[in-house]
Each structure stands twice: as structure tokens, then as C-alpha cells.
Amino acid sequence: MFDPYRSEAEFALLAVRTAASLCRRIQEEMVSPAMEKSDRSPVTVADFVSQAIVARMLQEAFPDDPLVAEEDSKALRVPAQTQTLSAVTSYVSSLRSEANQGLVCDWIDHGSGEPDARFWVLDPIDGTKGFLRGDQYVVALALIEEGQVVLGAMGCPNLNMNLRSEVGGVGSVVIAVRGQGAWVTGMDGGRPIKIQVSGQPDPKQARLLRSFAAEHTNVSKIDQLIAALGSRHPPVLMDSAAKYAVLAVGDGDLLFRLISLQKPDYVEKIWDQAAGSIIVEEAGGRVSDLAGRNLDFSRGRQLTDNLGVLASNGWLHEVALEALRVVGADRRPEGS
């Protein structure tokens, strides 16, 4: 299974499982007071623990492969964060007895690699706001070759094996390899089960997924899209790339990442979209930006040539693109 990416897939499954179960432990123990990064988004002990663990595992499994990951140790190396760094080190040591503060920072910074012909991309915790609220978050890892995502894996501690929300449940892992489908398995193991998007072609029945955080989307445009499609369902609000897993298993039909009015120049980061997009595509769905362009992962750390994201079950993609044009959500908001 997963040839010719069998060893990569085995590594990715183990890495996201290991990191996600540690994150779950941290979420349960509530040791994670948020601190502020320079961009003011919350970052927690768990983000750093997750990145240190996955980066170290990658260093051992594929020493020549660069890793492009969201965090770096700069914010941790300052005197004000001594306590955070000790908490991070103590969690990492529970799995890696050789860990100390210096090594943990080095492992985190293994994630400061540059995009190359082949590289891995990691969001150690996507949906930090969901994590802090005790809700959805994922550990997202992907492999990019020649600008194309070829493998994606997500550890989803608060989604069950049916990819339904179950906070505090056993959790699940979703994996996709290009040309080989998308699969779900338990966070603690088990035989992978193939997943598939919905076959819903009727826009009136379309179930929309959007960010929980209103400031990450455009709520009034979402409402206009629902009206334009004639959908009878209120949107489902969910943090993180867990939305892609829900779409991939057919529990939603459309996923919109619209441009927020607060940040009209926002550009999507590759670690937020790589794993989720291949999972939806391999489950039979379609992913593009809001203007219908393919996501271009060859542009560095950001999707600079794209605008937001539309992911769908495929059947509803064209009608959703048309709705985006009608409501004017296929371009940057005025004033940018």
C-alpha cells in the first residue's frame, strides 16, 4: 500500500500520531497558557512540542529532506519564556529522554528549511484557537515534490473514526497519497478505511463549512453565498484543516476560505493547505482558489499566486465558483 511512498506514508502516520497524542495530553492537562507571537496569534506549549517531535523524527527518518514548518524557537529563547521552554522540554523528554532545552530548540529550528525540489511541510497545530477552546485542531504534515503535494497526513485528536466531532474521544488520522486515495485510521492504529466525498450535486442541499473564527473569513459573504446557492443549511463552523477531513468523508459538500475584510491582503500559508487539499482531492473532491485557479505550491512558503480556497465534492465546484463571482468573493475586498 502507498507505493512508491510507502516508507514516507509510514513515517507520516507515525509522526502525526505521536505528535497528536502528545497534543491531546497537553490539551487535557490544560498546561497551555497562550502566549503572543509577534503577529499576535496564540501559540502554545503544544505547538512547540509537536514541531520538535515531528522535526526530530523526520531528521532521523529522512535526514536529507528539508522541513518547512510554522514555528521557530526565537520566541522561546527569550528570558520571559523560560517557563514555557521548560514545559516544552519536559513534554518532549517524555518521549525522547535525550531532550534538553538546547536540543529542543534545535529540533524546532529543523523546521526552518527552505522549499526545495522535495520537502516536507508541517503545521504542528493548525487551529490553535480551537485547541485553546478545547475544540477542533489538527497536526498537518505533507510532502511536496516538484511543486506538487504527493502525500498528506493529519492527526485529528477530536474527530472520531467517522470523522465526526468527538472532543476527548480516541481521535483519528487521515492520510492521502497521490493516486492512491484518502484513508482514515485510528489515532492509536488500526486498518485504514477508504474515504470518499459526498455525491451531492444539488446546491440547495449543499452543506457549507467555514472557519469558526469570524476574522479568518467573511461572514456576510458566506451568508450571501448560501443565498446565491439557495442552500437550506446553515454553515458548519469549525476550526482548522479538520474541515477538509469532514469534507473528504462526505459530511460537508463545500468549504470556503474567503478573504476577511480585516486582512484583505492575507495570503494562505502552504502548511495550512497542503495536507488538507490532497486529502480532499484523493477522496474524489476538487480544490482550487476562489477564482478557480489550481493551488500553486511551487511559490515558496505561501500560496502567493492564489486567493483563498474553495474545496468541494467536485459536483458543486463550478456552481460554487459561479456563486463566488456573483457575490464578488472571487477577488480581494475593496480598499486593498
Binding site for ligand AMP (CB under 6 A): 41, 126-127, 211, 213, 216, 239-240, 260, 263, 266, 272
Q: Cell match 500559508: residue?
A: 269
Would you call 128 a catalytic residue per the annotation? Answer: yes
47 interacts with, out of ligand AMP, Mg ion, none, CB within 5 to 8 A per kind:
none
Q: Please state the closest distance from residue 272 (CB atom) to ligand AMP, in A.
A: 5
216 interacts with, out of Mg ion, ligand AMP, none, CB within 5 to 8 A per kind:
ligand AMP
Q: Cell match 497562550: residue?
A: 34
Residue pair 282/178 in contact (Cβ under 8 Å)? The answer is yes
Q: Cell match 474515504: residue?
A: 195
| Position 123 contacts Mg ion (CB under 5 A) | yes
Q: Please state the closest distance from residue 234 (CB atom) to Mg ion, in A.
A: 25
CA–CA distance, 188 with 21 (Å, rounded to integer): 9
Q: Cell match 523524527: residue?
A: 57
CA–CA distance, 122 with 68 (Å, rounded to integer): 6
Q: What residues does 93 pair with on adjacent strands?
A: none
Please report the sign of the dihedral spanned by the C-alpha atoms of residue 110, residue 176, residue 126, residue 131: negative
* Contact region with Mg ion (CB under 5 A), list: 98-106, 112-120, 126-134, 277-285: 126-134
CB nearer to Mg ion: pick between 272 and 282: 272
CB nearer to ligand AMP: pick between 103 and 214: 214
Site string for Mg ion, 252-281 (x = CB under 5 A): --------------------x---------
Q: Please state the closest distance from residue 266 (CB atom) to ligand AMP, in A.
A: 4
Would you call 202 a catalytic residue per the annotation? Answer: no
Omega of the bond leading into 42 within 30 degrees of 0 (cis):
no
CA–CA distance, 292 with 216 (Å, rounded to integer): 20
Active site residues: 47, 128
